[in-house]
A = this chain, B = another copy of it.
Amino acid sequence: MNVSKRVSLVPSSPIRKLVPLADEAKKQGKKVYHLNIGQPDILTPSVFFDAISHHREPVLKYTHSQGDPNLVRAIQRYFLQDGIHFDFEDIIVTTGGSEALIFALTTVADPYDEILIPEPFYANTGSFMNQTSIVPIPVPTKAETAFHLPTKEEFESKITPKTKAILLTNPNNPSGAVLTKQELDMVTALCLKHQLFLIVDEVYRKFAFDGKKSISIGHIEEAKEIAIIIDSVSKRYSSCGARIGSVQSRNKLVMSSILKLAQARLSVSTVDQIGAAKLYEIGDAYIEDVRQEYLRRRDIIVKHLLQIPGVRYEIPEGSFYMILGLPVLDAEDFTKWLLTDFDVHNETVMLAPAKDFYRTPGAGLNQVRLAYMLNCNELEKAMEILKQGLQVYQSLKK
């Protein structure tokens, strides 16, 4: 008995497929510094646990399919603080950013329709397209232009009658690029011209560096009818285990359509919503502290990269990821070798081979994605090990 073609197309999680090698290294007593995973180590604000610890109700009921009204209003205020007005019904709470993405994809495209997506891109977004039978059409971005958007012409060369939307992640996972107003204006004009929806995953919006402002597509008035924004508490409040995200649009047909999908699955976790509503009340000082911490870590990475010959990168502008070009032919082979054959005083590092963030065959083979989820001390050590590992590996391959 065969399973469906669409589920066969869904790739195994790139983040998790090398885990057995890391587990084996740990079993042998090695310490493994994880530069591969996007699970923040920042403390979760205690208000989350406080709120749920006090929650009792006689019957733990379904909440509204749209979301607990308290949480919807908290999300509404979050956007309004940045000058973005959403009506109450322009917001639907979802089970993580994941469900928000699946809802948006299902709503804008039918099976075998196409969605343009700058490459490299978040691997799970590709999986969500596969499972909803949408064809992801990668539009390559380049290391030389710091993974900023391709030109209008490059996008247009990929548009066909089957194209239904463009999907952006801003700030970007895996590249760290933060889009400029000009770029957002260009894509908006393009979408309006070709009658495409514009889905923007903004879960890293608060994490932009060097005075760069991360502009929401909600700020672009012209995109009002076409923009669908994906958000989540996971990264901003270091609350990945609270599966709370949201989808926002001022297009009323889009929202009434997504509400039908939300009604079919009844509701989102009651207690997670109660905790998340409190997270939204924390205020910007907390988020600014977290941003500063990620900035310190980025700077440590960049400092070390300056001392590693042959690596290719641009200083990441936001999120907490970057793409690093390595002076090797096969970054996955190097990643495996670090786990199986290398250590410095019984310590090694784990990377995420970047080819899994590409769908264009052969792209990104020499690249890895770095996530800076380690504290500054550990990050210093991890980068030193990476540098030494690269030296040894290169000498072996000569």
Cα-based distance from A239 to B63 in the complex (angstroms): 11
CB contacts (< 8 Å) of A44 on chain B: these are 57-60
Q: A269 with B243: in contact, given A52-B52, A60-B48 (CB under 8 Å)?
A: yes
How far does the Cβ of A273 sit from chain B's closest Cβ, in whole Å? 9
Is A118 in contact with chain B by the CB < 8 A criterion? no
CB proximity of A126 to chain B, nearest CB, Å = 9
Q: How far is the CA of A8 from the CA of B1 in the complex (A)?
A: 32
- Whether A392 is near chain B, meaning CB under 8 Å from some CB there, is no
Complex interface: chain B residues within 8 A of A239 (CB): 60
A41 vs B61: C-alpha distance in the bound complex, in angstroms?
A: 9
- Closest-CB distance, A84 to chain B (whole angstroms): 20
- Quick one: closest B residue to A191, CB to CB? B1
Contacts A43-B59, A197-B1; is A111 near B124 (CB within 8 Å)? no
Query: Which of A46, A49, A63 has the most B CB atoms < 10 Å from its CB?
Result: A49
Chain B nearest CB: distance from A272 CB in Å?
5
Checking B40, B112, B241 against A271 with a beta-carbon cut-off of 8 angstroms, the contacting residue is B241
In A207-263, the 8 Å CB interface with B consists of 225-226, 238-243, 251, 253-254, 257-258, 260-261, 263
- Expressed in whole angstroms, the minimum distance between the Cβ of A300 and any Cβ of chain B is 20
When distances are taken between beta carbons in the complex, the residues of chain B under 8 Å from A127 are 260-261, 263-264
Q: What separation, in Å, do the CA atoms of A42 and B59 have in the docked complex?
A: 7
Question: Is chain A's binding surface mostly helix, strand, loop or mixed?
Answer: loop
With CB as the reference atom, state the residue of chain B lying closest to A98. Answer: B265
Cβ contact within 8 Å between A7 and B58: no
What's the nearest-Cβ distance from chain B to residue A40, in Å? 7
Residues in B with CB closer than 8 Å to A4 are: 106-110, 113, 164, 257
Contact between A242 and B261 (Cβ–Cβ < 8 Å)?
Answer: no
A:38-96 near B, CB below 8 Å: 39-44, 46, 48-49, 52-63, 65, 95-96
Measured CB to CB, the closest approach of chain B to A365, in angstroms, equals: 23
A258 to B, closest residue via Cβ: B7
**CB neighbours of A180 from chain B (8 A):** none
Cβ contacts under 8 Å, A310 to chain B: none
Q: Which residues of B contact A345 (CB under 8 A)?
A: none
Which residues on the B side are within 8 Å of A109 (C-beta)? 4
8 nearest A-B pairs in the assembled complex, by CB-CB distance: A241-B270, A111-B111, A127-B264, A98-B265, A13-B263, A60-B241, A53-B53, A44-B60
